[in-house]
Amino acid sequence: MTNDLNGFKVLIIVGPTAVGKTALSLSIAEVLGGEIVSADSRQVYKYMDIGTAKPSREEMFRIKHHFIDIRQPDQYYSAGEYGREARDRIAAMHKKGVVPVVVGGSGFYIQALVDGLFAPKISDPDVKQKWRNKVREIGQDAVFNYLKQVDPASAERLHPNDTQRVVRALEVYELAGQPISDFKKGGETPADFIPVFIGLNRDREVLYKRIENRVDVMLKSGLVDEVKGLRDRGWGPELNSLKTVGYQEVYDYFNGCLTLDEMAEKIKINSRRYAKRQLTWFRRDRRVHWIELDQFGPDQAVKKITETAGL
């Protein structure tokens, strides 16, 4: 699809987990007559509802959502795929006169959508470590053979013993959904709409309390049963989709590595760490206008966001 969006503003709401993005985005979409474009790398997966704090059926009935429940947990979905598909979806919405409200906390998804993915900027220490571990577990030849399948051009260029560059090529492939050999230096392609970034934040102690409360609600709502259902379908913690806070800890509980109380506490600790990483990521982007939600009531926050965004 050819996207002709020059001069078109797209509101992009970012922030850490549990800050309150979902509730505000629903109200904002109602005010603007819009639909929500989710930018959450785990809400794309079916059957992962409680642990990803996915919008409820009522909320999705209230406002149409995009990029929710579009893949099975054992199907890989990359930031690169999301960026391309979300741009097309936004262009289609613009053509119909629908206002897109992009909402999420997945930095790579936002980057892919707005700026495009550019190989030198694509990096995730967790993904890199995963492939380093693979080299140790199954050997460099097996890992190199996988590279041959997904990125033959890089495999032809690299020596199997050059594990550092082999791992780097696989890291980029996993994150971008396309081979590093497809990227040209300086060849990132930004979106042709005007992104308007609004970052939501709260006092750290308030945010951490909200995270702890959310985890308690998740557990009461059946998180353990949700993970059991995933396991019963044959999906384990080795899947990329399930290498996620709230799921890994429950699998550890099933495996006898944690007690129930230890599992709950570890989810809270890891959720706080994840929130900190999200804030670090988004604070690097000077385009983000930050709003401290503790200073506003819900209606005031909606008004402040739309005014700040010029919508």
Structure tokens at 169: 């090529």
Domain end, chosen from 182, 205, 227, is at 182
In a domain, 80, yes or no: yes
Determine the structural domain holding residue 83 and report its residue range: 9-116+189-309
Buried b or exposed e, range 274-289, using 16+ CB within 10 angstroms = bbebbbebbeebeebe
Residue 302's φ and ψ, nearest 5 degrees, are -60, -45
Domain identity same for 14 and 140: no
Domain identity same for 207 and 269: yes
Domain identity same for 152 and 230: no
Domain identity same for 52 and 103: yes
Domain end, chosen from 146, 161, 182, is at 182
Domain identity same for 13 and 76: yes
Domain identity same for 20 and 164: no
In a domain, 3, yes or no: no
Domain identity same for 194 and 155: no
In a domain, 1, yes or no: no
Domain identity same for 156 and 80: no
- CATH number for the domain including 35? 3.40.50.300
- CATH number for the domain including 149? 1.10.20.140
In a domain, 176, yes or no: yes
Domain identity same for 133 and 193: no
Burial class (CB in 10 A: 0-12, 13-18, 19+), 144: buried
- The CA-based diameter of the chain, rounded to the nearest angstrom, is 59
Structural domain total, the chain:
2
Amino acid at 113: L
Domain identity same for 244 and 165: no
In a domain, 4, yes or no: no
Q: What are the helix and strand counts (H, E) for the chain? A: 13, 6
Domain identity same for 67 and 159: no
Domain identity same for 126 and 112: no
Domain end, chosen from 182, 208, 228, is at 182
- d(Cα 230, Cα 211) in Å, to the nearest integer? 24
How do the pLDDT tens digits run along the chain, 311 residues long? 445 677 789 999 999 999 999 999 999 999 999 999 999 999 999 999 999 999 999 999 999 999 999 999 999 888 888 999 999 999 999 999 999 999 999 998 999 999 987 766 778 888 899 899 999 999 999 999 999 998 888 899 999 999 999 999 998 888 877 788 776 554 568 899 999 999 999 999 999 999 999 999 999 999 999 999 999 999 999 888 998 999 999 999 999 999 999 999 999 999 999 999 999 999 999 999 999 999 999 999 999 999 998 88
Question: Cα separations (Å) of 204 from 155, 212, 301?
Answer: 46, 12, 18
